[in-house]
Amino acid sequence: MAMTDGRVVRGLWLLLALTSPFFGVEFLRYNNEALHIHVAIPTAVQFAIVGIALLGVVARSGRIRRPPALARKWGRLLIGFIALFLFCHAVGVARAFDYLYAAREFFKLALGILTFLTVVAFFPRDPRFMERFWTFAIWGAAFLLGYLIYLHGFVFKSSQLAGVDRLGREGVNQLTGHVVYVMPFAIAWTWSARRKVAALVPLLVIVIAWIYSGSRGAWIAVVVGGGVMAMEFWKTLGLRKVLMFLVVAAVAGAAGLYVLNEWLPAEQMDFIARARYLYDPESVPELQSFDDRSARIIRALKCCAMTSPLVGVGLTNTQSLSGLPHNDYVSILGDMGVFGLGLFGLILYAVYKCCWPRRRSQADVWWVSLGTHAVLVALVVFFNTIDKFYTVQTFWLFAGLALVAGEIERSGVPIPSRDRRVRSARAGRTAAAAEAGDRRHRRVIADRAR
């Protein structure tokens, strides 16, 4: 146990959190074009964690104990769904037109699933450490995005940044996906943090990156995830405080947009046009890509329906036959048919069942769970607007952490940050009740005096 949960392994987990934004981008990555090998820093850290943890298992007992998250009904079903989903991809590789490209996508998915199993098997079941992990992940994202902002004004758009021209559109999409993945946690952490001013620093950087990325899918996904958080806040804090929070957020957002509009040159303000497209598409004809995207989706669906609706046309063949649909659900449906899409839906539902435990009251919500629930809903929306994000290690890392967070909540382990807030809320309710009793007592005395 000392080797799998000691300082070295915990330090590696925190290093993984800090470097997690590099899962989907080209920065500081080992690339061997001849062998088509690309190893990111967090992947190397993950392999180190697995190696040290397995050494500890061998030294201790020689067998890995089944995590409680996988001993439950939905945990066992989740493993079965994932195994079948991976098998569907293996069969799809055999039917692919471009075998090397399909094999690469298969190994990306397999590596993502290995990341999931690593987290579920070896991540410490310590709520304090879970909070520290997500804090490091938030600051890691803020450092990388802040670095990009510092170098060329704002993220994703400059041709002057050394190395960013190698990023490509795919790298931009993956980095935008990481913003979707980390931003709800940054909001939840800011809500729970004692030093809220310090917590606002990384949140502000991530929000700027989220706005300026120009990804309409990321905007909508985070807003929907924010709706989940707003409902949790409503039940926990009351409608009045939630409305105050929304008003302050709207004013801050409007002020930020005004500053950007006054400061940035017009050619770097395309995110304004993309935002306008959401409510007035006719005003930005240069962004009328929706019809083309819809046509590709319709072609992909027709191709799947006419060729092989149950098992699909083969991995990556949908892209070859009808173009990229920019929709993971349609890509899975075209490549692996109704069977593959059903398995993916069951995987998402099983993660939901494992990470969304019933609580005794809304006052005892944990900020990590709050962020987990918001990200899960946001990703369900985000998959409608991006290709192959379900194969990226970021998604599977999140799925494993979601299971561990649900396991921690169900175990009844004391969670200091949550319990402190619950005690404060109870003390506030007790003080309010005492004050109301004093008011009633004073009214009775006044009535008797009359």
DSSP 66: P
Q: What is the pTM of this model?
A: 0.82
Return d(Cα 147, Cα 163) in angstroms, integer.
13
Return d(Cα 88, Cα 77) in angstroms, integer.
16
Residue with structure tokens 């009808």? 322
| Residue 39, strand partner residues | 30
The pLDDT value recorded for residue 3 is: 44
Q: Are 331 and 89 in contact (CB under 8 A)?
A: no
The pLDDT value recorded for residue 173 is: 61
- φ/ψ of 31, rounded to 5, equals -120, 125
Residue 161 class from Cβ within 10 Å (0-12 exposed, 13-18 middle, 19+ buried)? Answer: middle
List of residues 6+ apart from 176 with CB closer than 8 A: 156, 213, 215, 218
The pLDDT value recorded for residue 109 is: 92
Residue 268 CB coordination number (10 Å):
16
Q: 257: number of CA atoms within 13 Å, CB side?
A: 14
Termini Cα distance of the chain: 74
Return d(Cα 445, Cα 438) in angstroms, integer.
11
Q: Which of 353, 349, 341, 303 is nearest to 323 (CA)?
A: 303
Q: Are 241 and 425 in contact (CB under 8 A)?
A: no
Return d(Cα 281, Cα 268) in angstroms, integer.
19
Where do the domains of the chain lie?
A: 1-65, 68-411, 414-450
Q: Which of 187, 171, 180 is nearest to 210 (CA)?
A: 180
Taking CB atoms within 8 Å and a gap of at least 24, the contacts of 147-153 are 148/209, 149/205, 149/208, 149/209, 153/264, 153/268
DSSP 340: H
Sign of CA dihedral 120, 121, 126, 130: negative
DSSP assignments along 218-237, one per residue: HHHHHHHHHHHHHHHHHHHH
Q: Block means of pLDDT (10 residues each) for the chain, length 450 residues? A: 66 92 71 66 88 78 71 87 93 85 88 92 90 94 80 49 43 73 89 82 85 80 87 74 72 67 59 64 58 62 70 79 79 87 94 76 72 92 86 91 89 67 48 54 62
